[in-house]
Amino acid sequence: MTTRGIEVALAQRSPEPIDGTLDGFAADVAATLTEHPNTGLLVYPEMHLCGTEHLPEADRPAALRAGAVPLDSEYVAALGAIAARHNVWLCPGSIGEIGSDGNFYNTQLLFAPNGELQATYRKMFPWRPFEPHVPGTHFTVHDLDTFQAGGNGQDESAAQPTGIVGLSICYDAWFPEHSRQLAWLGAELILNIVKTTSPDREQELILARANAITNQNVMASVNCAGPVGRGRSIVVGPEGFVIAEAGIGEETLTFTFNPNDVTEVRERGTMFSNRVWNQFTPEDAPVALPMYDGRINPTEWAPPSRQS
């Protein structure tokens, strides 16, 4: 296999105030990349730029709605400019999005190193009844290999990131169907951005490992830092082993993501034993899934294969 991979940094941070500017965020991106200069993909927590903790509790829902923007806004373009300034893949967390349908979504953003908005995902499972957002209805995966260097004055000889990422927001990880669908669509790394302020972070750490094990991919769950959040961001490999885990306060987790590691585990099996994506043969009968008014089709069970 050829050597492929990308250095990923998970920025466990306290939220930026929703009524502030992007100056603080831009400064943190610059400082983080100075400290970790080999970073190819930088990821921040859910609603990182939408902090309302400094406001009276009764005013927070209205502030979230007032701070929402469409994806073609100057605000989103300014975030892309930060990515381009540092020539890095950037997930600034999620923002409040006003869709073309007028609905209010919690939307994860992924910018390419040239500043272009490459992928978006609307949170499918808002934490009801506390979150005011409308649920999204579409899964999102993005192949980082599709990005072409040279735009915006980039050095075409620079090493390019690689791998397929799936986008996921916080409570989505509690629904195994979500991570399973992303893996089936080809996701080798799932970026689960989180804003957990409640005492159930311990359970989320178990879910990160479980989702990695059952789908044989890498799970990266980046939470916001204390005192607002419960921290403990985590990276889990495709066999369920913890690669890195943070404490409560602000820190940056770094790891090398190589999709070949996912391919290897899927081919030889978890612990040289379990090959969950090879469970069925084309001759097996479909399995009915009454809960979804659907079925598992054995001929379409496995994710798409990648050439290494």
Confidence (pLDDT) at 100: 95
Domain ranges of the chain: 6-300
Confidence (pLDDT) at 147: 74
Confidence (pLDDT) at 306: 64
Confidence (pLDDT) at 145: 87
CA dihedral 94, 226, 197, 171 (to 10 degrees): 40
Write the DSSP assignment of 117-155 as a string of letters.
EEEEEE-SS--TTT--PPPP----EEEGGG--TTGGG--
6-300 is a CATH 3.60.110.10 domain: yes
Confidence (pLDDT) at 162: 81
CA distances from 37 to 5, 47, 115 (A): 15, 25, 18
Q: Specify the 3-state DSSP secondary structure of 37.
A: coil
Confidence (pLDDT) at 146: 81
Q: pLDDT tens, position by position, for the chain (308 residues)? A: 345 789 999 999 999 999 999 999 999 999 999 999 999 999 999 999 999 999 999 999 999 999 999 999 999 999 999 999 999 999 999 999 999 999 999 999 999 999 999 999 999 999 999 899 999 999 999 999 887 543 333 444 344 448 999 999 999 999 999 999 999 999 999 999 999 999 999 999 999 999 999 999 999 999 999 999 999 999 999 999 999 999 999 999 999 999 999 999 999 999 999 999 999 998 999 999 999 999 999 999 999 876 54
Confidence (pLDDT) at 241: 98
Instruction: Name the maximum alpha-carbon separation found in the chain.
Output: 61
For the entire predicted model, the pTM comes to 0.94
**211-236 exposure pattern, b = at least 16 Cβ within 10 A, e = fewer:** bbbbbbbbbbbbbbbbebbbbbbbbb
The radius of gyration of the chain's CA atoms, rounded to the nearest angstrom, is: 19
- Asked whether 192 and 144 are in contact (CB, 8 A), the reply is no
